């Protein structure tokens, strides 16, 4: 079983006629994802990806004609908030926003709209999600995955790739890997994704990849201590050597007032009984020590 994306995914690509949208649509199709439609205003009636994907002017048209239930957004930052709202307004249940650089004030307006619609937003500024052997949505390379029973949730795209590759090299497969994005305002938190893994009978262990800034990892640690007791959790926190008050990479990776430090996150995770790796490459070993076997 997978979470968020799988064989039932019918994917709509917003911005499919742009360079990034078409490139990644090809990659997702090659992986086996059911890409059923694209949306680019003013380009309705044409086809993308060598004629294999019909393009519509609006999400409403695309959903009506193709039954799309998931969207991935590759449009520029100024248009991305409206693209999210349009997708959920058309009845899309899960939206992945890959776009980076969206102002936090814009997302403060968008997130309540998504929540009111009952949809789920992943991102913005996220790499997407992959359920190995079933579907991939976003920009995560498909070839680094191996099908298995470990779920992964991360704030960092590049660290996601590094950890997944290390797990695959060790023969430890993944059920679903989700990048939630590193911006200050995002649609889905660690807890939101951990709750999906907790309910998934085929996810037997979880990897959490965090970084400095905010309190999301501490909140996740408290939640996991109460709700993930039956599934081992292994974590890694990036930014242990970051200077105080310095933003490192993501817009949300900034320590303020002594809160959100790597030390405070590691302490919270360890207090919750979660094993914390000193480097990403240690994660397979910690999983094996927790009882996870190669798959």
pLDDT tens, residue by residue, 221-275: 999 999 999 999 999 999 765 555 555 555 544 544 455 788 999 999 999 999 9
Q: 133 — phi, psi (to 5°)?
A: 80, -5
Per the domain annotation, does 202 fall within a domain? yes
Active site residue 250: yes
Residues 237 and 164 in one domain: yes
Per the domain annotation, does 2 fall within a domain? no
CATH of the domain at 80: 3.40.50.720
How many whole angstroms separate alpha carbon 138 and alpha carbon 32?
13
pLDDT value at residue 261: 84
pLDDT value at residue 214: 86
Choose one of 122, 157, 172: the last residue of a domain: 122
pLDDT value at residue 2: 81
Per the domain annotation, does 1 fall within a domain? no
Quote the number of domains for the chain: 2
The arrangement of strands across the sheet holding 120-122 comes to 47-48, 53-56, 35-39, 11-14, 70-73, 94-97, 120-122
Per the domain annotation, does 130 fall within a domain? no
Residues 164 and 274 in one domain: yes
Per the domain annotation, does 131 fall within a domain? no
Residues 115 and 241 in one domain: no
User: Which domain, by its residues, includes 39?
Assistant: 11-122
Residues 187 and 283 in one domain: yes
Per the domain annotation, does 294 fall within a domain? no
Residues 148 and 285 in one domain: yes
Q: What percent of the chain has pLDDT over 70?
A: 92
The arrangement of strands across the sheet holding 128-131 comes to 135-138, 128-131, 174-179, 147-154, 205-211, 233-238, 275-276
Catalytic residue among 24, 145, 146, 250: 250
Residues 106 and 148 in one domain: no
CATH of the domain at 166: 3.40.50.261
3-class DSSP assignment, residue 5 = coil
Residues 179 and 267 in one domain: yes
Across the range 3-8, mean pLDDT stands at: 97
pLDDT value at residue 212: 87
Across the range 74-92, mean pLDDT stands at: 98
pLDDT value at residue 103: 96
CB-count burial class (<10 Å; 0-12, 13-18, 19+) for 267: middle
Residues 145 and 281 in one domain: yes
Residues 276 and 213 in one domain: yes
pLDDT value at residue 243: 58
pLDDT value at residue 257: 47
pLDDT value at residue 213: 83
Residues 171 and 83 in one domain: no
């Amino acid at each position: 079983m997978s979470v968020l994306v799988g064989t039932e995914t019918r994917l709509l690509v917003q911005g499919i006629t742009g360079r990034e949208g078409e490139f990644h649509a090809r990659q997702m199709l090659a992986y086996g994802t059911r890409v059923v439609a694209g949306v680019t205003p003013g380009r309705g009636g044409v086809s993308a990806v060598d004629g294999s994907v019909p393009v519509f002017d609006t999400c409403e048209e695309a959903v009506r004609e193709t039954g799309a239930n998931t969207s991935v957004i590759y449009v520029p930052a100024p248009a991305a908030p409206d693209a999210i709202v349009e997708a959920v307004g058309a009845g899309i249940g899960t939206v992945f926003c890959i776009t980076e650089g969206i102002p936090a004030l814009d997302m403060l307006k968008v997130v309540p709209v998504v929540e009111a619609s009952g949809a789920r937003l992943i991102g913005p500024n996220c790499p997407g999600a992959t359920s190995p052997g079933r579907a991939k949505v976003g920009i995560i390379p498909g070839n680094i995955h191996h099908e298995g029973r470990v779920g992964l949730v991360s704030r960092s795209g590049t660290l996601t790739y590094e950890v997944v590759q290390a797990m695959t090299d060790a023969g430890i497969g993944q059920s679903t890997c989700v990048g939630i994005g590193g911006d200050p305002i995002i649609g889905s938190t660690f807890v939101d994704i951990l709750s999906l893994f907790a309910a998934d009978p085929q996810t037997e262990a979880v990897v959490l990849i965090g970084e400095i800034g905010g309190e999301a990892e501490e909140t996740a640690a408290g939640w996991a201590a109460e709700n993930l007791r039956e599934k081992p959790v292994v974590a890694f926190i990036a930014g242990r050597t970051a200077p105080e008050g310095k933003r490192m990479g993501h817009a949300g990776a900034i320590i303020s007032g002594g809160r959100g430090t790597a030390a405070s996150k590691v302490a919270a995770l360890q207090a919750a009984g979660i094993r914390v790796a000193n480097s990403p490459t240690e994660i397979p070993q910690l999983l094996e020590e927790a009882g996870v076997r190669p798959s």
